[in-house]
Each structure stands twice: as C-alpha cells, then as structure tokens.
C-alpha cells in the first residue's frame, strides 16, 4: 500500500408567530468503520423521486441555500410552515408548499408575475385563486394552496414536484423538483422536523463492503488523475469508485451523476464510511453533479480530484457551496417515500 496523504381562510395568528420564533437546528453525527464495514445503524434521508429529475426552466436562483436566504424569505418560509401546521397538514405538505413558493417567487411576496400572477405562489385572480389583495396575503395564499393540495387524491405518495404541479398547473411541470432539498432543509430547521419527506430508513451496507471499498481506494492514493481513467494506475473521480465497489462485490454506474442514484439517500452530514458525496454547480439540482468522492470517516474523504492532481485523502468541505445536501449509500435500495 502506498503512503496515505494526508440539510381565503385565515388561521389563528398564534400559529404563525410560533413558527417565526423557531430557530434552525443542525445535527452532526459521527460514524466509524467497524470490522471493515459500516455499523448497523439506521439513518433517515431527505429523499424523493422528484429530487432526481427536473431542471428549472424558469430561471430559478441556482445555488440558493438556507444560509443565504434573506430575512424576508425566512419570514415567508416560517409563515408557510405556521399556516400549514395550524391547518393540521402534515410536514410533507409544508415541504410541497415551500418548494412551490421557492420556484414561483423564491419566497418573496411579489406584486407582479406572468399575466395576472401575484404573491408567494404566483396565484392568478382570474383563475379563481382570490382577489389581488388576497393572493398577496401570505396567510391567505398559503391557506388556499394547502386546501387545494389536500384535495388532490393521493398527494401524499406523489413526488413533491408532481404534487406541486397538480395544484399549480405550471408551464414548467418539473421545475419544483430542484427546490425539494432546500425546502426539506427549511422544514427541518424552522420546524425541527427530522424527516419531513417521511422516507423509509436508508439501508446499511453488507458487513465488510464499506471497509473493502475504502481499502481499495486508499491503496490508490498517489496515483495521477486522468479524465476517463479506469485504472489500474490512473483514475478519474467516478472510475476510482466503480473499481473500489467492484472490489467489494457491488456494481455501480460509471458516471458521477448516475452514481448519485445508485442507492438510498441520506443527509450528507449523516454519512457513514463508504457513502458517496457529490459536488454540483447547483447543489439543489442533481443533474448538475460533476464530482464524486467517498467518505471514509472522521470528517475525511478519498477522491481523484482533477487534472494535475493525484488520488488523495482530504477533509470533507462541509461548508462548500457545491456540496450536494444528500449523500448516496451505493448498492442499497432507493428509500423514496
């Protein structure tokens, strides 16, 4: 082995005020490799089929994160959550509403839009959503959106983007998908709901798989990067991981964007050794993924970075703006709601 280098009807105002008072909560869980494989613990992921498809065609603000939202946007997000909660709607409905408002107005209560569209949800008075004054009232506009969502048969089992489109009837039906990760992050942070999507647990890897894949990747440390490289002594980011998991008896796709969908998802900060993490030019849109690495524990990852560099171990850049909020556990079943 080579040397190793070092997220119409008003409701009681108290529900909204309570939501505004909540604070963001972020949990960080540390994991270790045991006996060459991941420990048999359960992690819940923010996941949905809708997250894997759909590129916004409406020019939505790429790269937006909870940390970059303005006070106005946070207030509107808290209002949406407070109203929906006060109506007795489940957290998944809050998430659908937030993803919709993020796409339609980027959580801004605007007094303009396509044709007569107005407000957080860009609702049209001419289409029966209410008067201009009503649809620009965040409480009213959220209330009527949630009412119409709850009337949709089977909305709870639809991908978020499909549920949103069924209510909105947008010209861009897949555009809501790219906001699901951020919407889930807001529900988790503003309302302290650990699993707003209601996903099944992310399965654990078979004993020894993570350890074998990690050992193989570490044995390549120092090999040069080569775009399209599949080994045995030159690698690109995804080629290295194909070989590592093949060594452990798990087959994964060749391209990083496809590797994202090669297993169950979980929040990136809940990774265990052997899980894959990704960079994307728009962290909310998996179709823009351009790099993959493998988590090895203790806040470290192994990767084949880029031309001119070598396979290396480095700290996970937790605050990097391109870090995708979901990690993938390769070879496990998708954990979509």
> pLDDT tens across 208-232, in order?
999 999 999 999 999 999 999 999 9
Residue 309, token pair as written in the block:
């560099």
Contacts of 208 (CB under 8 A, 6+ apart): 35, 36, 37, 248
Strands 300-303 and 43-44: unpaired
> pLDDT tens across 139-158, in order?
999 999 999 999 999 898 78
Q: Mean pLDDT for the chain? A: 81
Of residues 111 and 43, more confidence is placed in: 111
Q: What CA–CA distance (Å, rounded) separates 229 from 235? A: 4
pLDDT at residue 24 in the model: 32
φ/ψ bin of 186: left (φ > 0), alpha (ψ from -120 to 50), beta (otherwise): alpha
φ/ψ bin of 312: left (φ > 0), alpha (ψ from -120 to 50), beta (otherwise): beta
CA nearest neighbour of 50 among 265, 270, 292, 201: 265
For residues 300 and 275, the answer to whether their CB atoms sit within 8 Å is: no
Q: How wide is the angle at C-alpha 243 spanned by C-alphas 242 and 246, nearest 5°?
A: 85
The residue-averaged pLDDT of 194-213 equals 76
Q: Where are the alpha helices (DSSP H) in 248-330?
A: 256-259
For residues 194 and 31, the answer to whether their CB atoms sit within 8 Å is: no
Q: What CA–CA distance (Å, rounded) separates 108 from 145? A: 16
Number of H helices, E strands in the chain: 10, 10
> pLDDT tens across 318-330, in order?
999 999 988 999 9
Given a cut of 60, whether residue 249 has pLDDT beyond it is yes
Helix or strand holding residue 34 (H, E)? strand 33-34
Evaluate the CA torsion angle 56, 61, 67, 73 in order and state its sign.
negative
Q: What CA–CA distance (Å, rounded) separates 248 from 243? A: 9
The residue-averaged pLDDT of 238-258 equals 96
Domains of the chain: 16-30+52-191 (1.10.530), 201-330 (3.90.1720.10)
Contacts of 99 (CB under 8 A, 6+ apart): 160, 161, 164, 176, 177, 179, 180, 182, 183
Residue whose structure tokens are 């993959």: 292
> pLDDT tens across 14-64, in order?
444 444 443 333 232 222 333 333 322 223 333 443 333 322 222 334 557
Highest mean pLDDT: which range of 12-26, 46-60, 68-82, 190-204? 68-82
Given a cut of 50, whether residue 6 has pLDDT beyond it is no
pLDDT at residue 29 in the model: 27
Contacts of 34 (CB under 8 A, 6+ apart): none
φ/ψ bin of 35: left (φ > 0), alpha (ψ from -120 to 50), beta (otherwise): left
Given a cut of 70, whether residue 271 has pLDDT beyond it is yes
For residues 276 and 285, the answer to whether their CB atoms sit within 8 Å is: no
Q: What are phi and psi of 195, to 5 degrees?
A: -135, 70
pLDDT at residue 32 in the model: 32
């Amino acid at each position: 082995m080579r040397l190793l280098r070092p997220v119409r009807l008003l409701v009681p105002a108290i529900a909204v005020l309570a939501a505004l008072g909540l604070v963001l909560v972020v949990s960080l869980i540390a994991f270790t490799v045991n006996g060459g494989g991941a420990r048999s613990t359960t992690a819940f992921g923010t996941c949905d089929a809708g997250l894997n498809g759909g590129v916004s065609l409406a020019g939505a603000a790429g790269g937006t994160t909870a940390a970059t939202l303005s006070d106005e946007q946070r207030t509107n997000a808290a209002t949406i959550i407070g109203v929906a909660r006060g109506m007795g709607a489940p957290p998944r409905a809050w998430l659908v509403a937030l993803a919709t408002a993020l796409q339609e107005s980027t959580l801004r209560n605007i007094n303009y839009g396509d044709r007569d569209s107005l407000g957080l949800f860009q609702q049209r008075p001419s289409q029966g959503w209410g008067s201009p004054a009503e649809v620009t009232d965040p409480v009213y506009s959220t209330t009527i959106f949630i009412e119409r969502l709850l009337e949709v048969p089977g909305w709870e089992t639809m991908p978020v983007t499909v549920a949103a489109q069924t209510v909105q009837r947008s010209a861009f039906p897949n555009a809501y998908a790219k906001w699901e990760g951020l919407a889930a992050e807001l529900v988790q942070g503003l309302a302290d709901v650990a699993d707003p999507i209601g996903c099944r647990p992310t399965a654990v890897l078979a004993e020894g798989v993570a350890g074998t894949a990690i050992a193989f990747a570490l044995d390549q440390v120092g090999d040069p990067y080569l775009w399209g490289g599949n080994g045995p002594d030159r690698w690109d980011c995804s080629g290295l991981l194909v070989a590592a998991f093949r060594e452990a008896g798990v087959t994964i796709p060749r391209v990083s964007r496809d590797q994202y969908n090669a297993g169950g998802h979980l929040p990136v900060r809940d990774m265990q050794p052997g899980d894959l993490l990704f960079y994307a030019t728009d962290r909310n849109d998996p179709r823009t993924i351009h790099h993959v690495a493998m988590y090895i524990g203790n806040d470290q990852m192994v990767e084949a970075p880029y031309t001119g560099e070598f396979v290396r171990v480095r700290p996970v850049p937790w605050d990097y703006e391109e870090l995708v909020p979901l990690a993938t556990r390769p070879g496990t079943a998708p954990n979509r709601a």
